[in-house]
Amino acid sequence: MSLQFIVDGLLTGSMIGLGAIGVTLTYSILRFSNFAHGDFMAWGTYATLAVVSAIGATFGKVAPIGPLSFGWPLIVALIVGMAFTALLALLLDKVLFARLRSQGQAIIVVMASFGASMALRSLLEFTFTSRPTYFSRAIQIAMPVGFGIRITPDQIALLLLTAVLVLGVHLLMTRTQTGRAMQALSQNAALARIVGIDVASVVRVTWIIGGALACVAGVMIGILVQIRPFMGFDMLLPMFAAAILGGIGSIPGAVLGGLIIGLAEAGAVQLIGAEWRAAVSFIILMAVLFVRPIGLFGVRER
Amino acid sequence: MSEIVLDVRNLEAGYEPGVPIVRGASITVSKGEIVVVLGPNGAGKSSFIKAIAGLVPITGGTVFLDGKDITAAPAHTMVRLGLAFVPQTENIFPLMSVEDNLKVACGILERGEIPARIDEMYAAFPDLIRQRRTAAGNLSGGQRQMLAVARALIVHPKVLVLDEPSAGLSPKFVSMVFEMLAGIRKSGVTILLVEQNAKAALAIGDRAYVLVEGKDRHEGIASELWNDPVVAELYLGQRPLKAEKAPHAGEGGAA
């Protein structure tokens, strides 16, 4: 078999992994499965697209950076999109999740996230139609890098971006007071308050990180595949599978889980056929739940 | 021993409205004292101390810390106000290292002060320094209790409040924990603790209160209370209180 599946798998895995970080953080800190997380991705991507278009309308055509398919407008737009998605997540928490959370029943919050997911998705379809769109229609030439593997400059840039973001979030979680407060809150909420942690502010940081990374994952899909209102929703199963495979609450686990699922999907496409791609996440999810429900880096609850 | 640090007046508290577990309890703690709150099972001791720490809703009465009314202060502001609480169980973050358990509590300290403060805690609790990289969940019961106390002390509290520090420990660790508390008091920290183990607590305490049915029923010098017949009666219920009711559900559930 061709080793090309490694590049494809790492890319898909990066998108899944970045999304899974948000899923795993929301689950471990706010204690609910946020099914609207995929729609944060899609909203972030459309927001980024809108900013790119606005910049294009103002400054005219901007030359791409080096061999990449995009120029500085996309980078600026991505940063704006990340901020927008973080705000969207904060807003949704304020008007919906926070109120339900205070009533103390997790399942209601989960159901509300289903509803929010549908509403957000429908709004996108209503505004932008369900027709796929693209950041760029330029075709990039993939460079051979040996062993029969080809990779485009965009793909290299996005893999590097993923690595930087994951490292950044990992350092934030393990080396800063904010990160320690997040860990503390996920392990024992009552004790976190006792040691002086303001739960509301930690919850805000959680949404900001999750939302911003969801936007990056969405834009990656937009650059490498296409932009559709369903793009994020379709990532839900792989993202949850990655978060559970990695062990809920673990950032490195979510990313590694994403990469494993990405590689498994890409391998399955080559070996069995593309129609089995979607089954891979499902099979891995079931296998983890049967064999090691706490995941790779998970720890049994007390 | 005159300056009152903690002044609790007619405290009423409970998880559900209309079902008070603490029913008008009053105590004072003066600077440098160890004050012990004793009481039979279900007396509301744990709820009483949790209410002071902001963890059980207060429905009546007031709590003053250093003259300041902290009755309505949310739990997470207590360390800043000067009250550090050590819960009875689950009082450490099990998946974080010992060092991170200490660091996470340093939110109100100046950034530059933190490393020195952590070193001071290691100096006071040498057992912890050997385990600094260990996940706190792997510590022994006694070491966990040390870590929980060190974490509370790290923010220079005006008063250290402990909920049954000896609960669930083997006898060897029980005496270790009480020796530790006596040592902490010597360093000038004011301590309020709730205890089931009356003998050990009275041995290190200055004054003690007996809480029955959510109300302070008796008060005295700690060393005299052990032989005080009133305490035995309150404890064993030989002299009927208002009524021989079953203990309130709150204590067990709140523990």
Per-domain residue ranges of chain B: 4-254
The residue that leads in pLDDT, A83 or B186, is A83
List own/partner pairs for A277-280 with CB under 8 A and 24 or more apart. A278/A237
| pLDDT above 90: residue B105 | yes
pLDDT digits (tens, 9 = 90+) for A100-131: 988 878 889 999 999 999 999 999 999 998 88
CB of A34 within 8 A of CB of A106? no
CB of B9 within 8 A of CB of B66? no
Q: Is residue A82, in this structure, part of any structural domain at all?
A: yes
**Can you give the pLDDT at residue A222?**
93
Q: Is residue A46, in this structure, part of any structural domain at all?
A: yes
pLDDT digits (tens, 9 = 90+) for B8-67: 999 999 988 888 899 989 999 999 999 999 888 888 889 999 999 999 999 999 999 999
**How many structural domains comprise chain A?**
1
Give one DSSP letter per residue of A60-76, joined into a string.
---PPSTTSS--HHHHH
Q: Is residue A301, in this structure, part of any structural domain at all?
A: no
Among A196-205, B212-221, B242-251, which stretch is predicted with the lowest mean pLDDT? B242-251
**Can you give the pLDDT at residue B130?**
92
**Can you give the pLDDT at residue B254?**
38
**Can you give the pLDDT at residue A300?**
63
Per-residue pLDDT, averaged over A216-222, amounts to 94
Contact A198 B76 (CB under 8 A): yes
Q: B24: closest CA among B34, B10, B35?
A: B10
**Can you give the pLDDT at residue A265?**
92
The complex scores an ipTM of: 0.86
Claim: this prediction has a pTM higher than 0.95: no
| pLDDT above 90: residue A17 | yes
Contact B96 A187 (CB under 8 A): yes
Q: Is residue A151, in this structure, part of any structural domain at all?
A: yes
E strands present in chain A: 143-144, 150-151
Contact B79 A196 (CB under 8 A): yes
**Can you give the pLDDT at residue B237?**
60
Q: Is residue A126, in this structure, part of any structural domain at all?
A: yes
Interface test with B, best of A180, A195, A294, A299 (most B CBs within 10 A): A195
Q: What is the mean pLDDT of chain B?
A: 87
**Can you give the pLDDT at residue B12?**
92
Q: Is residue A295, in this structure, part of any structural domain at all?
A: no
Contact A197 B107 (CB under 8 A): yes
Q: A111: closest CA among A123, A94, A96, A122?
A: A96
Per CATH, the architecture of B4-254 is what?
3-Layer(aba) Sandwich (3.40)
Q: Which of A188, A194, A197 comes nearest B53 by C-beta?
A: A194
A106 CA to chain B: closest CA distance, Å? 20
Q: What are A243's two structure tokens?
A: 């978060």
Helix axes A199-224, A153-175, angle to 10 degrees: 170
CA distance A237 to A6: 21
Q: Which of A184, A193, A199 comes nearest B104 by C-beta?
A: A184
Containing domain of residue A206, as a range? 4-232
Q: Give B157's pLDDT tier (boundaries 50, 70, 90).
A: very high
Q: Give A297's pLDDT tier (boundaries 50, 70, 90).
A: confident
pLDDT digits (tens, 9 = 90+) for A239-267: 999 999 998 888 889 999 999 999 999 99
Q: A250: closest CA among A302, A186, A293?
A: A186
**Can you give the pLDDT at residue B242?**
45
CB of A89 within 8 A of CB of A208? yes
For B105, which residue in chain A has the nearest alpha carbon? A195
Q: How far is the CA of A182 from the CAs of A113, A170, A179, B85, B206, in angstroms?
A: 22, 12, 5, 20, 39
| pLDDT above 60: residue B255 | no
Q: Is residue A298, in this structure, part of any structural domain at all?
A: no
Chain A residues within 8 Å of chain B (Cβ atoms): 177, 180-181, 183-184, 187-188, 190-199, 299, 302
B228 CA to chain A: closest CA distance, Å? 35
Q: Is residue A285, in this structure, part of any structural domain at all?
A: no
CA distance A46 to A227: 8
